[in-house]
Amino acid sequence: MPDKPAMPDKPAMPDKPEAARLDAFRAGVLARGRELYRDLPWRRDFDPYGIWVSEVMLQQTQVARVEGRWQRWMALFPTVDALAAASPADVLAEWQGMGYNRRAIALLKAAQVVSSAGGELPCDDVALRALPGIGPATAAGIRAFAFDLPSVYLETNVRSVFLHELFPDAEDVPDSALVPLVEATCPSDAHDPADDPRTWYYALLDYGAFLKRAVGNPSRRSRGHATQSRFEGSRRQKRAEVVRILLAAPDAGRGMGEGEVLAALNEREGQAGRPPVDVETVTGILEELAREGLCSRENGLWRV
């Protein structure tokens, strides 16, 4: 079967006038959004901090895994100031099971910056993106959901809707073709509760989640789509295991030597039916984690 033609950077103009086509698209998405709306706990929250936490948790993590964990996090660290005052060990311990421990440490570091500046999360895109761990999509999500401000929020579910509806037969679609459409369709009037940025992006997210189940993830036709590598047996898995070992150390305040970490890791690897790792691998992992702020070394001992 021949491959479909690649999507050019500048797609051909549709037969319908662009404004009419996008108006019809917006009306259809809003209608589907009302039908498919998911009443998620962070959507009942208008606190910018709580919404920020949800956006970070939802990065590369399924909604089902975030439900429950978000509520527990907010109970333990209810404000920016509370999170800023927490220890890295407490933050990492609470994050376990969410994946990508770097996100938790970046959230802690950003909370410390915000807390030292008065405790108010900024709504400006540039100021948001200056904080650790906040990239374009996270900043746009915070602006839309916490402040109801127009933004270009392009994540996988949003991308799926635009590809399914506006580029149904195209492959290798670049984000440069999508961004102007995302910007053009986002409402600018936050005073219309039926059609404001917050409502609009919830509709896109819920319709996009539905499409993934119904038609098989249209975002795979995006040029930037990447399949996540296998976790079990990977270096990422061993990094996560080392963090758990340091957190679970009987005397975490004292720290652990590299030999102790190696022995504990190989015990867990053996229980999982995986081959042992060598000391060079463990040393490299510990040094990587230290550079990322996930652990530290003092007097030859490693601790979170």
**Domain residue ranges in the chain:** 18-39+151-221, 47-147, 235-303
47-147 matches 235-303 in fold: no
* 139-152 average pLDDT score: 96
Per-residue confidence (pLDDT) for residue 3, from 0 to 100: 43
Q: Average pLDDT over the chain, rounded to whole?
A: 90
Angle, alpha carbons 21-24-25 (nearest 5°): 85
CATH 3.30.1560 fits 235-303, yes or no: no
* More reliable by pLDDT, 228 or 297: 297
Query: Which string of DSSP letters, residue by residue, matches 91-152?
Result: HHHHHTTSS-HHHHHHHHHHHHHHHHTTSPPP-SHHHHHTSTT--HHHHHHHHHHHH-----
**Which tokens in the block code for residue 125?**
């895109």
In terms of Cβ atoms closer than 10 Å to its own Cβ (0-12, 13-18, 19+), residue 74 is buried
* Model confidence band, residue 16 (pLDDT cutoffs 50, 70, 90): low
Tell me the β-bridge partners of 266: none
- Note the residue count of the chain: 304
Question: What's the average model confidence in pLDDT over 71-83?
Answer: 98
> Do 82 and 90 meet the contact criterion of CB atoms below 8 Å apart?
no
Mean pLDDT of 83-106: 95
- Distance CA(68)–CA(91), nearest Å, equals 16
pLDDT at position 1, please?
38
- Structure-block tokens of residue 86: 């927490």
CATH topology of domain 47-147: Endonuclease III; domain 1 (1.10.340)
Neighbours of 51 (CB within 10 A): 22
24 CB-near residues (< 8 Å, 6+ apart)? 16
Reply yes or no on whether the pLDDT at 242 is more than 80: yes
**pLDDT for residue 169 is more than 60:** yes
Q: What is the pLDDT of residues 21-42, one digit of tens each?
A: 999 999 999 999 999 999 999 9
Burial 120-145 (b: 16+ CB within 10 A, else e): ebbeebeebeebebbebbbbbbbbbb
Least reliable range by pLDDT among 6-10, 173-177, 179-183, 270-274: 6-10
Report the distance separating Cα 241 and Cα 239, nearest Å: 5
CB 158 within 8 Å of CB 29: no
Q: How far apart are CA 246 and CA 249, in angstroms?
A: 5
pLDDT tens sequence across 281-300: 999 999 999 999 999 999 99
d(CA 241, CA 286): 11
∠ CA 265-270-274, nearest 5°, is 95
CA separation (Å) from 195 to 26, 27, 166?
A: 10, 10, 20
Q: Which residues are catalytic?
A: 55
Residue 7: pLDDT band with limits 50, 70, 90: very low
Q: Which residues pair with 168 in a beta bridge?
A: none
